[in-house]
Amino acid sequence: MAFPPTSQCCRAVRRHLRPQYDSIWIPDSLLATAFERYCATSRTAARYGSSLPGPMENRRRLGKRHMGELNFGQTHPSAPLWQLENLVDLTQWQWKSPTSPDTRARDREKHAQKRTLGHRALDLFHGLLLHNPRSSADVIRRSQELDGTSVSQEPVSGGVVGAQQAVSLDRSREAPAKALWVVNGFPLDFVDTGLELLLADLSTSSSVETMPNVTRVCVSWQRLLAGGHVSGKAICPTLKGIREGLDMGTSAAKPNLTIENLKMRLFEATIDGLSSREREDPTHFDNYAWTGILHELSQLRMNNIRVFARAMECIPRKHLETQLPGISANLDTYLRGLERATDDSSLVRQSTKMAEVLKRTGVSDLPDLPDLLSAIGQQVLSYAGSDHLDYPRLRFGWLLLVAKLPSRGKEHLAQVCVTLEADPRYRLTKTEICRLFLAYIHTHTPLRKAAFLYNRLHDGDATIYRSLSIGFWGSDQSHHVRSFAEFLIHLGREHDIIELAKGVRNVVPTDLALLANLAIGMGKPFLAIKFFSIYGYSKRHTDPQGFWRSSYATRAITSLANTHAFDYEKLLVALKICPSPPTRRRVRTGDSRGEAGSRGRRQPYILRQEQILKTAKAAMIMARAPNLTNRNAFALLSKCVRYLRGHNSVIHPVVLRSLLHNITRDLAEGRPGKTARLRWFLYLLRKEAGTDEMLRTGLALRRWRTFNFYLARQGHGHEGR
């Protein structure tokens, strides 16, 4: 069917749309484009005959059946084979290979890029007019500016145009313009229209707040998503097209911050629109759309933690495992953004915000989180030696984030640190290790006096371990010293534990310091840390003056004594249990002047109760030591007894029980025992507990020896007689 020329169509449409009393004038290009689109739709939809394509198609109209037709490119329909006069000259025909799918895709993209200005103006007219009835005059003025024509300054009046606007608005409310914005699943119309408006604003303003078209575009895009008029597969290409178009369409002199803020506004509108749709239908979740949003969000060149948090809050936890690639891409963008941090405080704030996002949205509880962290750790390690990235800063920022994840322990943190220290050129400093440990402690357990502890990190690497251990001890958090020592062991830095032990040793009581020196001298600084931890725990739960009366003292000394090849003589020296003759003070008699040569009586120093308790604890440990022979244990116990008797002190019942346990080892093994040791024990028992207790114990020992003799005779015949 033949169509009239374009000029006649324009005049016909103008007679219906523009009466004499109407002041609105529509350009010819806009009307021609609308008419061509209408005609193309009519040609596609009209059918005369069967609705199924094939040989029976158009039979009703033509009255005959074409069994086969060939068309070699002629403009008119082909003729049957038997009409030779209508055949083309096949001698001029050449065979061409079929077009590949990639070539066809490029041709379609090239055809889409050649869309006329009228097409874009028509999209602008329809889209914004339907969603904003007050902007009809602005839309038409914008269309005429794009077409190069002038706009009449007369106000919009009633008439046919006003009626058509009302009809358009009613139709927009009843059926949203789904086909208007989406073309074959890809909203090219919105990309072109949005870029036209956004680039126009960027050319006239440098602040997003003063751009009028930004709000208009974001609101219209949000409404489309909320209404479900854009498929999930079309969201990612749309965001990508606008993002790349803004990058290519702006000059280098334009501040990048303005462009990035504009992209942020568009991403916020996308998230709000898609989330509002899913709130109305909780069972609906567009996995493809959210994957595209997270991927495009990771392409931003600025801090996107706030928008990333909004996107993650809209994703249900049961769908988080499907979004791990997008989460990984955004974490990599977060790491690259850390390089722009001006100081360490900014680095700490950014890591805290990202950790809060991962914890609040449930990402930190995913079972696949270790694999995700391992993959990102390998990505961070690949930045080592880069000329464009500050690897130590990126690594420290990533380690801070791992330390602040509540589901990860210090063993995992130490493993990540060791992995990122694979390059010997970039070793973690002592200051970085201390800050990582404080971040870990502050996340998992309450940290008292955090400001006081962080202030102690200003010391140099030479003394920072000692300073931090003293800070823990001074703030009554001695258990963190032991945890820090375990963290250093996991890092493979056991040689640094001695610095922690020496730091605490300077602030503990003297007797504890002597025990610490004993452990350090044995090459076991962790034992000293363990001893300090037990002592600090007892201070929090018992009377500090009653440490040696509690079971914590037994645990502390036992932790030292159970080591391999422990020297118990050094333990007695550390506890100041010396059976040497005690120092005596002379008390003179006679006149008050104390004449020289006058004789007086000597009195020994009386031991304090604390020293007696120390001796009792040492005796109990030595009596039960598995690595001491019976003879060596008796010699050590004898020193304890002589030490107490040399100071005219009462022998503690624990010492007597320890001595009894030692001398009855032979009896327990079926031997008669040492008679001299038994008599000496009974003598001490009579001095301390009285004759009755001595007789009762002596009779029991005699019966035990008699029974052992009886067993020996029964086993060896008459040899024992």
pLDDT in tens, 637-694: 999 999 998 888 889 899 999 999 999 988 888 888 888 999 999 999 998 888 999 9
pLDDT tens by residue, 419-477: 998 877 889 999 999 999 999 999 888 888 888 888 888 877 788 999 999 999 988 88
Return the sign of the alpha-carbon dihedral for residues 297, 301, 306, 309: positive
Residue 277 near residue 227, CB atoms below 8 Å: yes
Q: Is 266 helix (H, G, I), strand (E, B) or coil?
A: helix
Query: Bridge-partner residues for 309, per DSSP?
Result: none
pLDDT on residue 593:
45
pLDDT at 130 over 60: no
pLDDT on residue 498:
92
Answer with the residue of higher pLDDT: 128 or 392: 392
pLDDT at 520 over 60: yes
For residue 367, give the DSSP letter.
T
Give me the amino acid identity at 660. Answer: L
Residue 649 φ/ψ region, left for φ over 0, alpha for ψ in the -120 to 50 degree band, beta for the rest: beta
Mean pLDDT of 62-76: 48
- Percent of the chain residues topping a pLDDT of 70: 69
Ranked by mean pLDDT, the top range of 30-34, 54-58, 176-180, 684-688 is: 684-688
Average model confidence (pLDDT) across the chain: 74
Residue 27 near residue 151, CB atoms below 8 Å: no
Mean pLDDT lowest for which of 72-76, 80-84, 372-376, 713-717?
A: 72-76
Mean pLDDT lowest for which of 329-343, 465-479, 488-502?
A: 329-343
Q: Which two three-digit tokens encode residue 376?
A: 């990102």
Return the sign of the alpha-carbon dihedral for residues 562, 567, 569, 571: negative
φ/ψ of residue 602, rounded to 5: -100, 135
Give me the amino acid identity at 514. Answer: L
For residue 183, give the DSSP letter.
B
pLDDT at 288 over 70: yes
Half-sphere exposure of 585 (CA within 13 A, CB side): 3
pLDDT on residue 250:
62
Confidence band (pLDDT; 50, 70, 90) for 600?
Answer: very low
Mean pLDDT lowest for which of 230-234, 408-412, 624-628?
A: 230-234
Mean pLDDT of 203-229: 79
pLDDT on residue 434:
93
Mean pLDDT of 314-335: 88
pLDDT at 700 over 60: yes
**318, 321, 323, 328 alpha-carbon torsion, rounded to 10°:** 140
CA distances to 358, 488, 506, 525 from 470, rounded to whole Å, are 34, 17, 8, 16
Report domain extents, the chain. Answer: 429-566, 605-716
pLDDT at 209 over 80: no
Q: Is 602 helix (H, G, I), strand (E, B) or coil?
A: strand
pLDDT on residue 83:
55
Half-sphere exposure of 106 (CA within 13 A, CB side): 4
Return the sign of the alpha-carbon dihedral for residues 317, 318, 321, 323: negative
CA distances to 180, 182, 316 from 232, rounded to whole Å, are 17, 11, 17
- Distance in Å from the first CA to the final CA of the chain: 141
Give me the amino acid identity at 305. Answer: I
Confidence band (pLDDT; 50, 70, 90) for 417?
Answer: very high
41-64: buried (b, 16+ CB within 10 Å) or exposed (e) per residue? eeeeeeeeeeeeeeeebbeeeeee
pLDDT at 335 over 80: yes
Nearest to 487 by CA among 420, 403, 426, 556: 403
- Total number of residues shown for the chain: 721
Count of CB atoms situated within 10 Å of the CB of 721: 6
Ranked by mean pLDDT, the top range of 155-164, 272-281, 486-495, 606-615 is: 486-495
Burial degree of 515 (CB within 10 A; 0-12, 13-18, 19+): buried
Residue 634 near residue 628, CB atoms below 8 Å: no
Confidence band (pLDDT; 50, 70, 90) for 166?
Answer: very low
- What distance in Å separates the CA atoms of residue 20 and residue 304, rounded to the nearest whole number? 55
Q: Is 585 helix (H, G, I), strand (E, B) or coil?
A: strand
- What distance in Å separates the CA atoms of residue 506 and residue 176, rounded to the nearest whole number? 78
- Percent of the chain residues topping a pLDDT of 90: 14
Burial degree of 381 (CB within 10 A; 0-12, 13-18, 19+): middle
Half-sphere exposure of 91 (CA within 13 A, CB side): 0
Confidence band (pLDDT; 50, 70, 90) for 27?
Answer: low
- What distance in Å separates the CA atoms of residue 292 and residue 241, rounded to the nearest whole number? 13
pLDDT on residue 142:
42
pLDDT on residue 105:
67
pLDDT on residue 26:
62
Mean pLDDT of 401-425: 88
Q: Which two three-digit tokens encode residue 49?
A: 């005959």
Ranked by mean pLDDT, the top range of 126-130, 428-432, 511-515, 601-605 is: 428-432
pLDDT on residue 39:
65
Confidence band (pLDDT; 50, 70, 90) for 603?
Answer: low
pLDDT on residue 191:
76
pLDDT on residue 18:
47
Answer with the residue of higher pLDDT: 141 or 576: 576
Residue 686 near residue 644, CB atoms below 8 Å: no
Mean pLDDT of 505-512: 83
pLDDT on residue 392:
87
pLDDT at 134 over 50: no
Ranked by mean pLDDT, the top range of 22-26, 91-95, 510-514 is: 510-514
Confidence band (pLDDT; 50, 70, 90) for 84?
Answer: low
pLDDT tens by residue, 138-163: 433 443 443 343 333 333 333 333 33
Mean pLDDT lowest for which of 86-90, 268-272, 716-720?
A: 716-720
pLDDT at 89 over 50: yes
- What distance in Å separates the CA atoms of residue 192 and residue 216, rounded to the nearest whole number? 15
pLDDT on residue 86:
53
Number of helices (H), then strands (E), belonging to the chain: the values are 34, 2
